[in-house]
C-alpha cells in the first residue's frame, strides 16, 4: 500500500543546527511577516540584493536529512501503535496482531 501524509515534514523537528540563506524576494517577504524581528538581521550584497540568514526549526522538504528524520519519526510512531519492524526489510512494517 502507498500512502501520502499531507504536511508530514511540518511535524518533524530538525536534529542539527541548520542555517539557510534567504535571498531577494524571499528575504523581503520574511521581513514583511514581522519587521520588528527580521529587519535588524537583513543585509544587502554588493548588488543590493537583500539577504537574510535563518536557522531552521523543522526539516526542510527535499533536503538529504528530511527523509531520514521523517522515516525515524514515522517508524517510531507506528511501533508505538503496535506495528512491528520486518527483520528482513526495516522499511516494511506489519501489525503486531497479524501472524
| Bigger pLDDT: 62 vs 12 | 12
pTM for the model stands at 0.57
Residues with Cβ < 8 Å from 14, sequence gap 6 or more? 56, 57, 58, 59, 65, 69
Give pLDDT tens digits for 42-74.
999 999 999 999 988 877 776 767 777 788 888
Rounded Cα distance, 64 and 67, in Å: 7
Buried b (16+ CB within 10 A) or exposed e, 62-86: eeeebeebbeeeeeeeeeeeebeee
Rounded Cα distance, 43 and 26, in Å: 13
Amino acid at each position: 500500500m502507498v500512502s501520502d501524509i499531507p504536511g508530514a515534514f511540518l511535524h518533524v523537528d530538525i536534529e542539527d543546527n541548520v542555517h539557510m540563506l534567504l535571498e531577494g524576494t524571499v528575504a523581503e517577504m520574511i521581513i514583511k511577516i514581522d519587521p520588528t524581528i527580521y529587519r535588524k538581521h537583513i543585509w544587502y550584497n554588493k548588488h543590493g540584493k537583500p539577504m537574510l540568514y535563518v536557522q531552521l526549526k523543522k526539516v526542510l522538504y527535499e533536503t538529504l536529512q528530511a527523509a531520514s528524520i521523517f522515516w525515524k519519526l514515522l517508524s517510531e510512531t507506528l511501533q508505538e501503535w503496535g506495528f512491528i519492524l520486518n527483520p528482513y526489510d526495516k522499511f516494511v512494517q506489519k501489525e503486531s496482531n497479524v501472524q
